[in-house]
Amino acid sequence: MTTEQAQLTEIRNQIDSIDQQIQDLIGKRAECAQKVADIKTQGGNVNAVFYRPEREAQVLRAVKERNTSLLPDVEMAKLFREIMSACLALEQPVSVAFLGPEGSYSHASVVKQFGSSAHSVAVSTIEDVFSAVDKGDANYGIVPVENSSEGVVKSTQNELIKTNLKISGEVSLAIHHCLMSKSTAHENIKKVVAHQQALGQCETWLKNNLPWAEIEAVDSNALAAKMAQEDESLAAIASEQAAQLYQLIILDSNIEDFKDNTTKFWVIGKEDTQPSGEDKTALIISIHNKAGALLDILESFSKRDINMTRIVSRPSTDKTWDYLFFIDVLGHKDDENVKEALEEVESKAAFYKLLGSFPVSPL
Ligand SMILES: O=C(O)C(=O)C[C@]1(C(=O)O)C=C[C@@H](O)C=C1
């Protein structure tokens, strides 16, 4: 045996022994999750809620705080994300509806929030995500709320105004576009296909790197990847997951012109989420048409030191030039100061709807 082989064998033996310990401990953790499920269903409770976003956020925050390893905090948290996903699936497999097809950024946000053991259900529109959860075809749904370069997603806003569902989580996904193809050579690419938005976000890159290629907009990036799978002269712009799913070669990564391109998604479900210690509350209001009405409402938050993280306005659909405001504040609706502020806002607003409180995402 060479020295290198001997050294590798020694370290690999250590890795084998550590893996065995990790596996034993994961097994013990799974037994605890099973016990948690027994407690939740005791007395024949058929309405037991297995998924607990506040607890998951607390577990992941604790992992990050404890981490002193060589692995970055987020990478360590991702490993535990997967362990919890498998533990939850053991308690009860959860299904999550998302705007398909598979390989879309919505799909990636499902995996980021629920891990890969969740059963993801692709549907064709944002409205269908809401109705799938409403009808019980899926336990939860994930919908895009806002993109840092494209702005708010109108169909999600429209559904939020109408729905009885609650927001139980928030996922921020960095959008990184890849150029992918069956072919390994750029010079073989005759045409680039992608959703209009992705083409727009990579316009300069395409001009500089594939000036000869024809550009065609299609319904989604995942569809583009599917098309590229069948035609070697095509390259698609899509996510890394889409490349894996459709077995394409990634020719270039991070080809977006603006580097901090992020989409925010919300998890929708039927249950209220308990406080996690670091939460957000989302609501929709409209105000009476008089001077200072908005300021008056915002003061309900500011005088209690409640931080407003977002306010977005849009015209109301039923009364011309009336406005609806989508507001996010830090804190949970059951926190004393937030509770008082919300009561005050409700008494002042012409329309008031609480969308829910949910943990600030640790990932
Ligand atoms: O603590 C619980 O309620 C559990 O069900 C356990 C557990 C976990 O694996 O840690 C699993 C699923 C829940 O979403 C939260 C946490």
What dotted CATH number matches 275-359? 3.30.70.260
Whether 178-252 and 275-359 share one fold: the answer is: no
Please state, for a pLDDT cut of 90, what percent of the chain lies above it: 84
Nearest CA to ligand 1 atom 6: 33
Residue with tokens 């500011």: 302
| Per-residue pLDDT reduced to its tens digit, 64-98 | 999 999 999 999 999 999 999 999 999 999 999 99
Q: What was the pLDDT predicted at 321?
A: 65
Domain boundaries, the chain: 178-252, 275-359
Bridge partners of 265? 144, 171
263 is catalytic: yes
pTM of the model: 0.89
Q: What is the ipTM of this complex?
A: 0.99
CATH pick for 178-252 out of 3.30.1130.10, 3.50.50.60, 3.40.190.10, 3.40.50.150: 3.40.190.10
Q: Which of 36, 80, 81 to mutate to test the pocket of ligand 1 (most atoms within 8 A of CB)?
A: 36
Q: What was the pLDDT predicted at 320?
A: 62
**Quick check: CB of 84 below 6 Å from ligand 1?**
yes
pLDDT along the chain (363 residues), means of 10: 93 98 98 97 93 98 98 98 98 94 90 97 94 98 90 92 97 94 95 91 95 93 93 95 93 91 95 98 91 92 97 82 91 98 96 97 94
Q: Is the peptide bond before 101 cis (omega within 30 degrees of 0)?
A: yes
Nearest CA to ligand 1 atom 8: 84
Among residues 265, 301, 325, 326, the one annotated as catalytic is 265
Q: What was the pLDDT predicted at 289?
A: 80
